Amino acid sequence: MGVLTAVRGDITGQEVDAVVNAANSSLLGGGGVDGAIHRRGGKSIVRECRELRASAYPDGLPAGGAVATTAGLLPARWVIHTVGPVWSRTEDRSAQLASCYRESLAVARELGARTVAFPAVSTGAYGWPLDDGARIAVAAVQEAVGKEDFDEVRFVLFDDRSYESFARRIG
Ligand code: AR6
């Protein structure tokens, strides 16, 4: 098994060191992955997010950035919150989307996380076309991952279409 894997499933059930949240700049919760993580992880996550807003990120976390909290009741040690770009027809925001994956892995590395689970950032409420989102995600992770740093970087996809799109690229 290579360091990159793809599974069909729910990000909140992953037994990994760090799960990545597809958050928004406020860091204070939302729908989709973000809603599921806060629901299942409990109140301690949003408490830590509020502290981050009060200290390091008074204006919120910009798109492409990543920051960690503990994982509350989730079967993981940390949640790494990243903010994907909203898809735009007129502006190429691919660099921001690639940055989400790169920055999340940089945070994971600092934490000492060896297994990391990612959702398909930006491909839900933020409207990024799935195949393009998968292409950017896999390329960014492949580039960032040194095999000595991570045991597994797992993409967790909610439906068959997303799973196929990621699995095809990982090979
Ligand atoms: N586990 C794995 N994947 C999931 C789950 C889950 N529990 N739930 C949804 N997905 P989205 P975004 C898939 O909308 O596009 C929130 O309101 C989903 O099918 O969660 O980055 C935030 O607060 C899709 O393929 O994230 C932001 O405001 C992918 O995960 C905004 O949505 C991402 O969908 C972020 O939008």
| Residue range 98-146, pLDDT digits in tens | 999 999 999 999 999 999 999 999 999 999 999 999 999 999 999 999 7
Q: How many residues does the chain have?
A: 171
Residues facing residue 156 across a β-bridge: 7
Average confidence (pLDDT) over 145-166: 92
Q: Domain holding 59: CATH number?
A: 3.40.220.10
> Six-digit token pair at 99?
């940055």
Residue of the CA atom closest to atom 24 of ligand 1: 124
pLDDT at 102: 96
**Residues 31, 136, 95, 149: what is their CA dihedral angle, to the nearest 10 degrees?**
90
pLDDT at 21: 99
Ligand 1 atom nearest residue 30's Cα:
23
* Interval between CA 23 and ligand 1 midpoint (Å): 8
The residue to mutate among 33, 45, 160, having the most atoms of ligand 1 within 8 angstroms of its beta carbon, is 33
7: which residues sit within 8 A by CB, 6+ positions away? Answer: 154, 155, 156, 157, 163
pLDDT at 171: 81
- Structural domain including 10 reads 3-170
Residue whose C-alpha is closest to residue 131's, from 123, 141, 140: 123
Average of per-residue pLDDT values in the chain:
96
pLDDT at 147: 61
Residues with CB under 6 A from ligand 1: 10-12, 22-24, 30-34, 36, 84, 119-126, 156, 158, 162
Task: Count structural domains, the chain.
Answer: 1
Structure confidence by residue, pLDDT tens digits, 8-66: 999 999 999 999 999 999 999 999 999 999 999 999 999 999 999 999 999 999 999 99
Residue of the CA atom closest to atom 12 of ligand 1: 122
Does the structure show a pLDDT above 60 at 69? yes
Within its chain, how far is the Cα of 144 from the centroid?
A: 14
* Interval between CA 4 and ligand 1 midpoint (Å): 20
Residue whose C-alpha is closest to residue 141's, from 95, 94, 105: 105
> Does 34 participate in catalysis according to the annotation?
yes
* Interval between CA 140 and ligand 1 midpoint (Å): 19
* Interval between CA 100 and ligand 1 midpoint (Å): 14
Describe the crossing of helices 130-144 and 94-111 by its angle, rounded to 10 degrees: 40
**Confidence grade of residue 148 (pLDDT, cut at 50, 70, 90):** low
Q: Is the pTM of this model over 0.95?
A: yes
